[in-house]
């Protein structure tokens, strides 16, 4: 199933709005989800165009286009993070 904005919201992604003046062109929105804490975290970020692609920030080779894969990846990260905090 292709990633949609509603899926991102359900997964806890936060919407970021970029204005025309900030972008130097047209305004747009993108979505982010941070897993971890202030000391160390991983950030998932959408492409900012159609927002149907999610990438691991700073790692362009980790790209998700399917909701099922994204959900599994997030669950694995959150479960591992939660285990280290116990």
User: Taking the mean position of all CA atoms in its chain, how far away is CA 37?
Assistant: 15
- Is the confidence at residue 86, as pLDDT, over 70? no
What is the Cα–Cα distance from 43 to 56, expressed in whole angstroms? 6
Is a pLDDT exceeding 80 seen at residue 84? no
Instruction: Output the pLDDT for position 37.
Output: 79
CA distance 19 to 29: 9
Cβ distance 44 to 33 under 8 Å? yes
- The domain segmentation of the chain, as residue ranges, is 5-84
Residues of the chain with pLDDT > 90: what percent? 63
The C-alpha atoms of residue 18 and residue 68 are separated, in whole angstroms, by: 28
Calpha distance 56→27 (Å, rounded): 23
Question: 47-83, pLDDT tens digit by residue?
Answer: 988 889 999 998 888 999 999 999 999 999 988 877 6
Site of tokens 């998932």? 44
């Amino acid at each position: 199933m292709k990633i949609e904005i509603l899926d991102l919201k359900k997964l806890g992604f936060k919407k970021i709005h970029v204005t025309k003046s900030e972008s130097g062109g047209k305004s747009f929105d993108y979505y982010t989800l941070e897993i971890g804490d202030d000391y160390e975290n991983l950030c998932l970020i959408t492409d900012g165009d159609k927002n149907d692609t999610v990438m691991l920030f700073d790692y362009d080779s980790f790209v998700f286009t399917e909701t099922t894969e994204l959900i599994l990846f997030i669950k694995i990260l959150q479960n591992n993070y939660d285990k280290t905090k116990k």
